[in-house]
Structure 1
């Protein structure tokens, strides 16, 4: 589909690549995410078409001139949160953290680079529509902030069974299966401030 931003993941670790691809597609549903195991594969597929490169540290080090030239588009995948293990001139993303932290880091990167959708094509109409009721939005907001069903029931003065029903309906309406996917949806649609998750 024309107009969709293209993102490349270049990393020989297949499992890490597949997991990151899934998360990126949740964070940016309009993006096309392509994966490459080697730099040669990327170079054979019009590397200039990509808006971002998510790249393993070793591939960046082996191909430093290319990534330095594309520094603003490059996000280095690291395995450590230690500041000394990062390349100072690049954005980096630690992939060796719990899923909720990785989702938050991706959302922070997305907001930093594209706050308010800057440089991003518009969302498809179907994704812009208001799908959830006001009450479901309140429940979703509390879910992604980490509240458990009982706390949500107390905060909203509703029964526990009602919270469970809302939760089920939210997941079904949005076609989501995890709280991580729900968190991404809530932040991307402005229902929850990223600093509250």
Structure 2
């Protein structure tokens, strides 16, 4: 049994999803959230397995994703939105979204996204996969394991570099803003990865968000990518 919370401010969407889930014995709907505050309350009180969330709906924000994941260990998030850019999809995954589907997906894809994500897997509907592949984005590059924010020994300069990486700046842009050479910035990046125990930029971004160095909203809808 997969316990699910629906998070969407649109009453019709919530009713539609509730009706769909009601036809499957393997899925138990434990609550419906109409904004970020009610979502956090439901997650705290009912500890669902999966939250199906429209983070761009009125009353919601992407900031809620890492927050609710901290409230309930093992919680998974399925994003369900209208059309978004492939970069928005990637950035949503970077801050903790596990699976991503569109609101005009067919019923089987909606149900499968909950079942697969509840089992610890990833699920992307055909339209999402087509969009990211069209833009030559490899979703495997942004799949992250557990990343904690235990204190590590980072210099002031390294903290500045982490923050700027999370905000979407390239090595050359960071070098220009901090009056460093690109080689020095690259060295900082490598040292940061070693200290954090990570091996890609997406994990640095996740660390910056979880450590509250930046808000996800600072870069979520930015068309600018990371190196």
Normalising by structure 1, we get a TM-score of 0.47
TM-score, normalising length: structure 2: 0.42
More helix by share: 1
